């Protein structure tokens, strides 16, 4: 009767105080049948990575609207590699200029979603790209 259930963390790194988007995404993941761990606002990259490891999640969705994405998002990827936990997939979304996306992907983010993306598209992306680890 063993069955892997997808576990996903939704986290907000840094200092911006807007989590409507993060909550809507969390709700969409719940409705897709995933177990969603929501960390709340104002998380440091260190807290996010430690929580992702303790919760044994398959992926982490980072929501960021503050403009500090080029600093905070690569830092999460760096720490997760340091902890040898880079089998956990990291992706992000928020107000992120197109020009910044290639750099973020090179830093280790598997995908970046920008404003206007539907929750259906994000859920579909997760289903296609994230499998619960064996």
**Interacting residues with another protein (CB under 8 A):** 1-5, 7, 26-27, 29-40, 43-44, 46-51, 53-56, 83-85
Q: What is the DSSP string of 45-87?
A: HHHHHHHHHHTT-SEEEEEE-SS-HHHHHHHHHHHHHHTT-TT
Q: Residue 31 or 121: which CB sits closer to another protein?
A: 31
Q: How far is CA 5 from CA 52, 57, 74, in A?
A: 15, 10, 27
Q: Residue 7 or 69: which CB sits closer to another protein?
A: 7
Q: How far is the CB of 115 from another protein (least distance, A)?
A: 23
Q: Residue 49 or 109: which CB sits closer to another protein?
A: 49
Q: How far is the CB of 46 from another protein (least distance, A)?
A: 4
């Amino acid at each position: 009767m063993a069955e892997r259930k997808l576990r996903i963390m939704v986290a907000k790194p840094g200092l911006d105080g807007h989590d409507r988007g993060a909550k809507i995404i969390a709700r969409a993941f719940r409705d897709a049948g995933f177990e969603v761990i929501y960390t709340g606002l104002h998380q440091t990259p260190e807290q996010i990575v430690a929580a992702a490891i303790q919760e044994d999640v398959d992926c982490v969705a980072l929501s960021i609207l503050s403009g500090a994405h080029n600093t905070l998002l690569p830092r999460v990827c760096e720490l997760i590699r340091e902890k040898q936990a880079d089998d956990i997939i990291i992706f992000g979304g928020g107000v992120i200029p197109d020009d910044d996306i290639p750099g973020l992907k090179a830093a280790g983010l598997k995908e970046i979603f920008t404003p206007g993306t539907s929750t259906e598209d994000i859920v579909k992306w997760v289903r296609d790209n994230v499998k619960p680890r064996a």
